[in-house]
Amino acid sequence: MAAIKPQPQQREICVGAVVVHSDAVLLVRQSPGHSLAGQWTIPWGTIEDNEQPSEAAIREVAEESGIRAIVDGLLGVQAIPSPWAGQVALVFQCRYTSGQLTPDGRETDAARYFTAVELVQHNEPIEPFCRWIALEVLKGQVKILTSPRGNPYAPTEGYFLGAV
C-alpha cells in the first residue's frame, strides 16, 4: 500500500501597511466578527488576483480607513503564526497623502493615528506585532527596501537592500 502524502497547504500572501502621518502611524480597530475583533492593527489584507503587492497595501489602507497613501518601501516579510499559519505578510511603509479617517464599518469600526507615546499607553488592545512594527517605524529603527531604478522587470515590483 502506498503512503498517502498530505496535501500541501495553500500559501496566502498578505500585505500590511504602516502609514506614517506627521509623528504618528495609522491603526484601525477590527470589527466584531473579525478574528482580531476589538484589537487595533495596521491596515492589512490579502493580495487580489493580478494585483501588485504595493497596490494591495494601498487598497487595504483606503478600504479600511478612508486614507490615501503612497508606498515608500518594503519594511519586511513576516510569516504569520497560528491560527493563520501558512500565510506570509509583506509589510510596507507608507506615507499619508490625503483623506479623512473613515472606517469601513464592515472590517473596521474605528481608525486613528497613534504617536509612539499613545501606542505604549493606549488602554485598548493593540495587536502585538502591529504595535511593535509601528513603534520601530516611529523610532526610526527600521530601514526600508526600495524599488531600484533600472530593474529590467519593471514595472513589476522588486525591492532590494542597498538599491538606489
Give the model's pLDDT for residue 82.
75
Number of structural domains the chain divides into: 1
Element counts in the chain: helices (H) and strands (E): 3, 7
**Domain interval for residue 133:** 12-138
| Residue 29 confidence (pLDDT) above 90 | yes
Give the model's pLDDT for residue 131.
97
Whether 119 is in a domain gets the answer yes
Section 121-143 average pLDDT: 96
Instruction: Report which DSSP code applies to 124.
Output: S
Whether 150 is in a domain gets the answer no
Whether 5 is in a domain gets the answer no
List, for residues 69-94, the tens digit of each pLDDT value. 999 999 999 988 877 778 899 999 99
Whether 160 is in a domain gets the answer no
Whether 2 is in a domain gets the answer no
Phi and psi at 148, nearest 5°, equal: -75, 150
3-class DSSP assignment, residue 45 = strand
| Residue 109 confidence (pLDDT) above 90 | yes
Question: What does the alpha-carbon distance between residue 107 and residue 52 come to, in Å, rounded to a whole number?
Answer: 22
Whether 107 is in a domain gets the answer yes
Give the model's pLDDT for residue 39.
96
Candidates 48, 148, 133, 37; CA nearest to 94 is 133
| Residue 3 confidence (pLDDT) above 70 | no
| Residue 5 confidence (pLDDT) above 70 | no
End-to-end CA gap in the chain: 57
User: Going by C-beta distance under 8 Å and a sequence separation of 6 or more, which residues neighbour residue 87?
Assistant: 11, 12, 13, 14, 79, 80
Question: What does the alpha-carbon distance between residue 56 and residue 104 come to, in Å, rounded to a whole number?
Answer: 16
List, for residues 44-74, the tens digit of each pLDDT value. 999 999 999 999 999 999 999 999 999 999 9
Q: What percent of the chain has a predicted confidence (pLDDT) above 70?
A: 92
Question: What does the alpha-carbon distance between residue 124 and residue 40 come to, in Å, rounded to a whole number?
Answer: 8
Q: Whose grid coordinates read 484601525?
A: 28
Whether 148 is in a domain gets the answer no
CA distances from 30 to 45, 67, 106 (A): 12, 16, 9
CATH number, position 34 = 3.90.79.10
Beta carbons of 89 and 4 less than 8 angstroms apart: no
